[in-house]
Structure 1
Amino acid sequence: MLRASSMKIIIINGPNLNLLGKREPDVYGNTSFEDYFTTLKKQFPNLDLEYFQSNIEGELIGKIQEKGFDYDGIILNAGAYTHTSIGIGDAIKAIASPVLEVHISNTFSREAFRHQSYISPNAAGVVLGFGLKSYALALAYFSDKY
């Protein structure tokens, strides 16, 4: 693993996360991810951060495969695909980069179908339920900020 000062980490967000700040603010808050990403870059200047979002399952799989052999880590919030996509789970299993599964809400306090994850069995870890701070906690795994 490379030194933290040169670690390349990509955050990949799935469906409907482009609506953060507008969508169900009682669950997801009032901040857009783009605004929060600026905060994360300031909070973790020792990490080389990149961000990608798509509502399309195949694009998420393509990005995981594209970055999954060259990046030091992937933080993935696959949204609803977490509970439905065997393909995303298989993509994570196939790559070399560690993947941390992230969720803004506590998926276990929501509908029963959200308790199943096709990502968790192949992820290095899972962070959920801390709002947008779930991303910062996941980044701390790749940083010296514990």
Structure 2
Amino acid sequence: MKKLIVAAAFALVSASPALASHYDITFHGTQRPAGHHRSLAVAKAASASCFTQTGTSPEDAPTQAYKDCMNAQGFRWIATKLLKDPPAKHEASGIPAGHFIDSDTGMLCRNSGGAAISVPPPNNMTVRYTSKHGLNCTRTGAMSICSNL
């Protein structure tokens, strides 16, 4: 007989971008009210309650007290994995304060009241963007090259 396991995975994301990782904690729901698995919302509520009761932090690896609390609420600990977060997207470097890159043209722009003034980026700046026609483009200075490759 194939046993159906409901694993409540809690991606507890670290608040600090410097850590660039989070814990993925997997539990097995041991209680079956009326023969049905409990919802993920119930598991998340139990998790939040256990973090509060044990004084532990979601940013840290689960403690034995946290695991015991979850077990008392009908969720048996299975595994904990430390996962690396994908790299964060960074703002393009070299853009002067108050300016932005137009995502349709790759031009360097600044707001001037009700209009934006756009100029080609400096020759030492390369901008990659997608044109309004869906082509991948690269702009360096006044030269823009687009390709569907």
- Give the structure-1-normalised TM-score: 0.26
- Give the structure-2-normalised TM-score: 0.25
Higher strand share: 2
